A = this chain, B = another copy of it.
Amino acid sequence: MARLPVYLRALTGLQERGVATVSSEELAAAAGVNSAKLRKDLSHLGSYGTRGVGYEVEYLVYQISRELGLTQDWVVAIIGVGNLGRALAGYGGFASRGFRVAGLLDADAAIVGQEISGMTVQHIDRLEDIIAAHGVSIAVIATPAGAAQGVCDRVVAAGVTSVLNFAPVVLSVPDGVDVRKVDLSIELQILAFHEQRKAGGPDELAPMPDGDSPPGAPQYVETVEA
């Protein structure tokens, strides 16, 4: 379930503050969900709570970590060392949760050889080597949109079965390979949508100046890509 990492985050926060026990109500509040949902989710993993008391924080942290596969280490490679790749390479949340970055790769000769967050950027030609040598199982694609599918095909051919895609394209992969996509501009667009609803009040799509102009000439949105 996609909410377990959120619970885990909330639990480690409580753990740091020295809390030993939580009720579903408290944990749900910390995670931003409703308590019935939290109990249902947790009961899916087994009976790890105590009636009348709550959940023991440390035990639950371990059980969720185990369910998520965080008791073993996962080896990741970051492909594309632009601004975003650099940010990812320096992101503390990777190392701290059982994700080990085994390589930073880029196609740009000006970037290859640079030292980023204590790692030397490798040339993309070495992709297959590095995947095999380090046993990479998760590839993080932070390349420009145009390069993403090609890189994806290569990492999949080299045996990677999980891809985290930051490039603004829908990657196609064979069955058995998982892709998750993070798209910054989509997140903003969703916010803009809600923002518009607030501004316009509860009336729906009437009050725009030029609401239903027919198909034709004008170019409404630029198509420059990230």
Contacts and interface: CB of A to CB of B under 8 A. Distances in A.
A71 B8 CA distance: 40
B182 A164 contact: no
Question: How many copies of this chain does the complex contain?
Answer: 2
Interface in A63-107: 65-72, 74, 76, 82-84, 86-88, 90-99
A177 to B, nearest CB: 9
Interface of A: 2, 4-6, 8-10, 12-13, 15-16, 30-32, 56, 58-59, 61-62, 65-72, 74, 76, 82-84, 86-88, 90-99, 137-138, 161-164, 168-170, 176, 178, 180, 182-196, 198, 205, 208, 211, 213-216, 218, 220-226
Contact of A191 (B164, B211, B216): B164
A77 to B, nearest CB: 12
Given A31-B170, A83-B91, A91-B184, A189 B225 contact: no
B221 A69 contact: no
